[in-house]
Amino acid sequence: MSTPTQSSVRNRWSQLFLFSTVFVVGAMVVAALFHNEFRSQNWDPQQTRDYVERTIRYGGTFYENGLLNKGPLEPMVYRIAALVTTWDGFWYAISFFILIVSGLIAWAASSTVRAVGGHRLLGVAVGIAVFFHFALGKADYAGVLYSRNMVVGLFAGAWIIALSRRSWEARRARWSALAVGVLLGLAMQTLFVSAIAAFAVGLLAWNALDDIDDDALYRRCRRTLVVTPIVVTVAAPAYYLLRGRIQEFWSGWWTYAKYQNTGTGRSLANQLVYGRDVILRYYRSWPVSLVIVVSFLVCTVALWRTFDRRERTIHLSLTVWFIGAWTELVMSQRYSSHYFSILALPTALMAATIIGHAYRLLRRERGEFRSVVAWPLIAGLLSIVAMGGGHFNLGLQAASSFSSVHNTALARQTAEPGKQRTVRATLDLVSHADDPLLAWTEFPWTYLNYHRVAATRWIWKSFMMGQIYLGRTGPQYVLPKTWEWFADDMREAHPAAFLEETAMPMASGNPFADYVHANFTKAFAGTDYNIYLRNDQADAVLRGDAGRALTPNRALGQASNWVAGSGRATLAADAVPSVDDVLELSPSLCTRVSGTYTAAPGAGGSFLSFRFDGPSNTDETMRLNIADTEVFSGNDATVFDSVILDPTKVDTAQAAPADTASHAFAVVVGAQSAALVVDGQIRAAVRLPKPARLSLEMRNGGVALGDLQVGAPPPDSGCK
Amino acid sequence: MPTTAPDSDAAADVSDASEHITHSEQATQPEYATSFARWMNRAVWPRLTDSRWISTATGVIATLGLLFFVVRTLGASWPGQFKIFFPDSFSFINAARLTPFSPAFYAAERPIAFPTLLFLLGRSTVVTIVVQTFLYGLAYLFAVRVACRILCQAEARLLAGLLIVLIGLEPRFALWNTHILSESLGMTLAVVSVSMWWRFSADPTVARLRWAGVATIAWLTARDSNVPPWALVGVPALLLASLLWKSAETDLRKALRHWGVITLVVCLGVGLTQSANGRNRYATLNNVGLRVLPEKELTNWFVDQGMPMSDALVERTGFSSFDNNWKMLNSPDLESFRSWARSSGQRQMLESYVRFAPHWVSTLYRDLPILLSSDQSSYDAFHVAKRLPAAMPWQIGGPTSRAGLLMWSLLACAGLALTARRRGLQSIVLALLLASTFVDLYMAYVGDSVEVQRHMVGPLSRMALIMAICVCLGVDTLLDDARRRAVEARRDKVAGE
């Protein structure tokens, strides 16, 4: 028996280790929250967000707003994230959900250790390592919230309940059976192929029922455990059937899932052979996983006779779960790296089981470990060192620099690529945030980058072209009613703009192309994107209302080199360039200044710069520039994007020839952005974060402006 | 096999002394409210009345607070972006390279505390920055813990905790954690030392004196400017207490004498190593250029003491040793002057701090607004100020103006005066510590005329902490007295009835 002093010293050490562990785990949680906000913005999550944003905009079911081949849980979780956050804060909510899922998995691992005789603190240590792996690890399934991550979260939840003895006490057993049933049902509803894994987890819960003495309760719980998953699984189709939207649901959940299965063109035998190759390759890459699985199997066989009924069920469940996970992967035929989360969880639980058994055996031989209080801390530190601290470090950096969601969004906006700025600025002239955008794309971020929703539920061209991911292409993979629903979507959305990626030109000869040709005019031809505006919007932006004659002000008054009059202004070619001697065209935003310009090149050519100066000297000055035959957007320090006036001319990497031709131009200024139209096409556009005044600065040479007029901005440019 | 107790049994289980909601109340409440009450009785109230649980919970919260501080201070540049660029940083690393196993280490260009830390951490910039930030945060948490243990009233504890944490969070102090300089460690050890002395004054025992003595020695070896305040205030106080504190136990008086002598020896040791390596010669050169030469009377006195005067030296009026391409350090015409600065010049400079104290005090008074209000932003290479809470309004995190200094000083003195009657020893010890901070401030100012603002960081943070403690102690005494009077009045009333 220890003396009070010894006990006090031990207590102090325990506290020291406790606080140190809290420090390390706290750092993990903080790092995961802030880093996964960025890391979670992966492909499928953005796709799901596209659907959710569309649902918010147009209402209806998730399946009316996107092609979903999984259950409604995934979009529902994303819908909740949108509900509790702002647009910019959305991924923080997702990151928080990732923490919850990782925490559940960690808890499941910890419970498993204890269930097979491990010390409580050993369970905590294993939990910390597992948490780090799923929240901040190097694996592609870590730090993201794909549907499979949700499924493993559901399984982890069910596993925790099934393992907990308290859950199966008489007054809780009913609710526990119901909870396990709901969790397994949701998992199966989300991914039907996870049924084997669900069965494995259910097996453990079934075993736990055996502890119930009351026969009626036992039977009721058993019934609940069997019926609930089935009811929850069929609840989704039943709901959509009742709602009259079964066609949309069935198209995505079943028909498209079937296309994905058959679209690879593999026979069952071929799938199995391919699966075998992948399994061998996988374990060559991840030998630690192989060691865990083999050790688990050896341990199961060697110790089977010594196990009690519960331990046998744990081993049996994990074995079935593991086989189920591989079956799921083999059947899906796609071994995307993030799919492996479904395998990682049973493997982690196998590891937890081995550790628990090892501890029990060692304790039997040598008694209690005094160092156990330090194990959680050691596990935390070892996790960071052994599993790679890259994401951890990035998370700490993000946490340290974070001041607010808004400021983070502003910082990202400042670092936006130039070509993206041009598109966003142009879109802002004809539509608002959350308005529909039609796009011919294969990427989910096309809509989110511009704060727009997809005009059609077919957010990717592949859905309309019958292109199966990692499979074949053909009209047989285009869902029935695709074009009918497309027409419905267009009637509903009536998009103001269509975005085409130059690397992926729109295919002709389909209703999509027909719709675009009939309703849109090409307004901007860039190097990465072509922007088409709906015909009425194109009229407003490219041609617009000329308005009245404009007499520009000279900033320097009489001291100015500019000669200005009604509808005209000139600056001599030999005038000394001056940032102060500018021609003031508009004191505020929301205007359309048009006219003609004829450059009078000086020694360095000609350089017209339409400047947007904010109210304060510290505000960033945005510019739309015409330098000889090149038009570009930027600020005082950076060029965002550029095009050549005549794109048919080949860039010879030599100085552009002097341009002395007369060009029609218009500076179209909305509430949030401005575009420079030259010769009937948008050539450059820039976002204006703050109110600004418009002026023209000649940075080289002179210019003759004629027919200067000021008119109204486009109707949907955000101006009242 | 698990069995379930009937509900009545379960209810009986939870009905203990800590039960806050009675059965009769439960009977009148709806089911969910009863369940909630049962849960509160089972899970919440017992914990809230368990001092051990509260202690652990407080520890966890403090740990998370420390985590917040460390992450916000270091995270943005973590882990690979900490660069060292101050010449002094290289000088510290050079001193650490000598290792404590070499005698040269103890007479190197730098006082030994920070090079020792660097040595222990393998001279790694990142590790040192992390550890010193961690220690800095931990020291302030320790001060809060000491305050919570000593102060009697919850409001005073809360105030003390808040003020101490806010001082620690002040970006002008916290930013030094990101540099390989002795400022951070100096402030950390100052906080520990002050807390230890306060702890000793609240319950004077030999063990507590030992801890305070050790912390003070560590603090003395962190920065040279820490020695004069202790030599002038701390050592005499300890020695006098050992002689005059008749009511103290013999062991304690003996220990006081021992620690007085030990710390005196440390002070002398630091002084000797300073002389041995002549590390104060730069300060002497700077002071002559920037402060002596512009003042005729001072110049004459130094010339009388043997400072070699020349046209070349006159030309250096208003310049430090770093100006004009280190002309003061390189010019052949100033060789005799440099030789003087390496030898007797340093002692004469020290003498001048006493002889011309009124003059130096008046210049310090003149420069105080700039020195106090400095946010040290020019040193904030890693933008710590952007990530920590901004400096508190109304100078809560320590004085930042002359008026603020006056106000804080008055409040601190008032606190000490209020405390004097009931907690005399605390009042005396804190008064001595407070007095030493003014000596510290003076010495940091006169010690070197270059980077004065940087040199003031340690004294100012220490001063802010001591003043905050004095104020909180005063508040605690006031509240304590008021509550005691109220209890007595109630007792009298009951007795009268």
Residue A459 and residue A365 in one domain: no
How many angstroms separate the Cα of A219 from the Cα of each of A184, A206, A216, B364? 19, 11, 5, 87
Pairwise pLDDT comparison (A652 vs B99), residue with the higher score:
B99
For the stretch A568-603, pLDDT in tens is 999 999 888 899 999 999 999 999 999 999 999 888
CA dist., res. B293 & res. B300, Å (int): 9
- Cα distance from N-terminal residue to C-terminal residue, chain B: 62
Please tell me the predicted confidence (pLDDT) of residue A648. Answer: 65
A396 touches chain B (CB under 8 A): yes
Query: Would residue A701 count as lying in a domain?
Result: yes
For the stretch A1-25, pLDDT in tens is 445 567 777 788 888 999 999 999 9
Distance (Å) from the C-alpha of residue B360 to the closest C-alpha of chain A? 42
Give me the number of domains chain B comprises. 1
CB A505 within 8 A of CB A525: no
Q: What percent of chain A has pLDDT over 90?
A: 83
Burial B33-51 (b: 16+ CB within 10 A, else e): ebeebbebbbeebbeeeee
Residue B16 has pLDDT above 60, yes or no: no
Report how many Cβ contacts below 8 Å link chain A to chain B: 66
Lowest mean pLDDT among A403-407, B74-78, B92-96, B469-473: B74-78
Per CB-CB distance under 8 Å, the chain B contacts of A403 are: 386-387
Residue A608 and residue A529 in one domain: no
Per-residue DSSP letter, B399: -
Q: What is the mean pLDDT of chain B?
A: 88
CA dist., res. A528 & res. B108, Å (int): 63
A8 touches chain B (CB under 8 A): no
Residue A332 and residue A454 in one domain: no
Residue A304 and residue A341 in one domain: yes
Residue A192 has pLDDT above 50, yes or no: yes
Give me the number of domains chain A comprises. 3
For the stretch A35-82, pLDDT in tens is 999 999 999 999 999 999 999 999 999 999 999 999 999 999 999 999
CA dist., res. A166 & res. B378, Å (int): 60
Query: Would residue A268 count as lying in a domain?
Result: yes
A524 bridge partner residues = A531, A682
For the stretch A464-483, pLDDT in tens is 999 998 888 999 999 999 99
Q: What is the mean pLDDT of residues A659-665?
A: 90
CB A376 within 8 A of CB A16: no
Query: Would residue A409 count as lying in a domain?
Result: no
> What does the CA dihedral A89, A90, A92, A96 come to, rounded to 10 degrees?
140
- Cβ <8 Å between B78 and A213: no
Query: Would residue A696 count as lying in a domain?
Result: yes
Take residue A93 and report the two structure tokens written for it: 């909510």
Query: Would residue B300 count as lying in a domain?
Result: no
CB A704 within 8 A of CB A552: no
Q: What is the mean pLDDT of residues B378-382?
A: 90
Query: Would residue B347 count as lying in a domain?
Result: no
ipTM, interface predicted TM-score of the complex: 0.83
Distance (Å) from the C-alpha of residue A176 to the closest C-alpha of chain B? 15
Please tell me the predicted confidence (pLDDT) of residue A656. Answer: 63
Contacts from B16-22 at CB under 8 Å and sequence distance 24+? Answer: B16/B41, B16/B46, B18/B45, B18/B46, B18/B49, B19/B45, B20/B45
Residue A375 and residue A436 in one domain: no
CA dist., res. A403 & res. A411, Å (int): 11
How many angstroms separate the Cα of A504 from the Cα of each of A40, A567, A650, A684, B272? 26, 43, 22, 22, 79
Residue A389 and residue A504 in one domain: no
CA dist., res. A418 & res. A622, Å (int): 12
Residue A500 and residue A559 in one domain: no
Please tell me the predicted confidence (pLDDT) of residue A1. Answer: 46
Residue A509 and residue A658 in one domain: no
pTM: 0.88
Query: Would residue B95 count as lying in a domain?
Result: yes
Per CB-CB distance under 8 Å, the chain A contacts of B71 are: 27, 30, 396, 399-400
Residue type (1 letter), B454? R
For the stretch A335-345, pLDDT in tens is 888 899 999 99
Residue B12 has pLDDT above 70, yes or no: no
Query: Would residue A405 count as lying in a domain?
Result: no
Please tell me the predicted confidence (pLDDT) of residue B170. Answer: 93
Q: Give me the helices (H) in A304-337, please.
A: 309-332
Please tell me the predicted confidence (pLDDT) of residue B86. Answer: 87
Residue A150 and residue A167 in one domain: yes
Residue A508 has pLDDT above 50, yes or no: yes
Per CB-CB distance under 8 Å, the chain A contacts of B1 are: 211, 213
Find the residue in A nearest to B73 (Cα): A400
Q: What angle do CA A710, A714, A720 make, to 5 degrees?
A: 90
Give the structural domain span for B458: 60-279+361-485
- Cβ <8 Å between A396 and B1: no
What burial class does residue B491 get, using C-beta atoms within 10 Å of its C-beta: 0-12 exposed, 13-18 middle, 19+ buried?
exposed
CA dist., res. A696 & res. A693, Å (int): 10
Nearest to A197 by CA among A185, A213, A209: A185
Residue B271 has pLDDT above 60, yes or no: yes
CA dist., res. A680 & res. A406, Å (int): 37
CB A396 within 8 A of CB B71: yes
| pLDDT band, very low/low/confident/very high, at B3 (cuts 50, 70, 90) | very low
For the stretch A201-238, pLDDT in tens is 999 999 999 888 899 999 999 999 999 999 999 999 99
CA dist., res. B393 & res. A685, Å (int): 44
CB B76 within 8 A of CB A401: yes
Does an H or E element contain A439, and which? strand A436-440
Residue A590 and residue A528 in one domain: no
Residue A117 and residue A207 in one domain: yes
Pairwise pLDDT comparison (B41 vs A21), residue with the higher score:
A21
Region of residue B431 (phi > 0: left; psi between -120 and 50: alpha; otherwise: beta): alpha
Query: Would residue B491 count as lying in a domain?
Result: no
Query: Would residue B40 count as lying in a domain?
Result: no
CA dist., res. A635 & res. A612, Å (int): 9
Q: What percent of chain B has pLDDT over 90?
A: 62
Residue A390 and residue A487 in one domain: no
Give the structural domain span for A339: 4-397
Distance (Å) from the C-alpha of residue A170 to the closest C-alpha of chain B? 6
Take residue A564 and report the two structure tokens written for it: 């200005």
Take residue A168 and report the two structure tokens written for it: 């199966």
Nearest to B111 by CA among B259, B267, B310: B267
Distance (Å) from the C-alpha of residue B389 to the closest C-alpha of chain A? 10
CA dist., res. A108 & res. A114, Å (int): 10
Query: Would residue A407 count as lying in a domain?
Result: no
Distance (Å) from the C-alpha of residue B158 to the closest C-alpha of chain A? 22
- Cβ <8 Å between A400 and B78: yes
Pairwise pLDDT comparison (B43 vs B418), residue with the higher score:
B418
Please tell me the predicted confidence (pLDDT) of residue A673. Answer: 95
Does an H or E element contain B130, and which? helix B125-150
Nearest to A255 by CA among A67, A65, A457: A67
A693 bridge partner residues = A613
Query: Would residue A404 count as lying in a domain?
Result: no
Helix, strand, coil share (%) of chain A residues, nearest 5? 55, 15, 30
DSSP of B450-480: SSHHHHHHHHHHHHHHHHHHHHHHHHHHHHH
Please identify, among A493, A521, A543, the residue that sits at the C-terminal boundary of a domain. A543
Query: Would residue A412 count as lying in a domain?
Result: no
Per CB-CB distance under 8 Å, the chain A contacts of B387 are: 400-401, 403
- A631: helix, strand or coil: strand
Please tell me the predicted confidence (pLDDT) of residue A602. Answer: 86
Residue A293's contacts (CB-CB under 8 Å, 6 or more residues apart) are: A322, A347, A350
CATH number, position A567: 2.60.120.560
For the stretch A529-547, pLDDT in tens is 999 999 999 999 999 888 8
Estimate to the nearest angstrom the gap between the alpha carbon of A408 and the chain centroid: 16
CB B171 within 8 A of CB B384: yes
Q: What is the mean pLDDT of residues B211-218?
A: 97
Q: What is the mean pLDDT of residues B210-236?
A: 94
- Would you tell me the crossing angle of helices A341-366 and A147-163 to the nearest 10 degrees? 30
B76 touches chain A (CB under 8 A): yes
Residue A634's contacts (CB-CB under 8 Å, 6 or more residues apart) are: A418, A622, A623, A625, A640, A686
Q: Give me the helices (H) in A636-708, please.
A: none
Residue B20 has pLDDT above 80, yes or no: no
Q: What is the mean pLDDT of residues A697-710?
A: 93
CA dist., res. B418 & res. B154, Å (int): 18
A627 bridge partner residues = A607, A630
B79 touches chain A (CB under 8 A): yes
Find the residue in A nearest to B76 (Cα): A397
Take residue B455 and report the two structure tokens written for it: 């040199």
Per CB-CB distance under 8 Å, the chain A contacts of B77 are: 397, 400
- Cα distance from N-terminal residue to C-terminal residue, chain A: 82
Please tell me the predicted confidence (pLDDT) of residue A653. Answer: 64
Q: What are phi and psi for residue A635, nearest 5 degrees?
A: -120, -165
Please identify, among A543, A559, A577, the residue that sits at the C-terminal boundary of a domain. A543
Lowest mean pLDDT among A522-531, A563-572, B70-79: B70-79
Q: What is the mean pLDDT of chain A?
A: 93
Per CB-CB distance under 8 Å, the chain B contacts of A18 are: 56, 59-60
A401 touches chain B (CB under 8 A): yes
Per CB-CB distance under 8 Å, the chain A contacts of B75 are: 396-401
Chain A 18-47, residues with CB within 8 Å of chain B CB atoms: 18-20, 22-23, 26-27, 30
Per CB-CB distance under 8 Å, the chain B contacts of A15 are: 56, 59
Per CB-CB distance under 8 Å, the chain A contacts of B386 are: 403
Chain A 156-175, residues with CB within 8 Å of chain B CB atoms: 165-166, 168-171
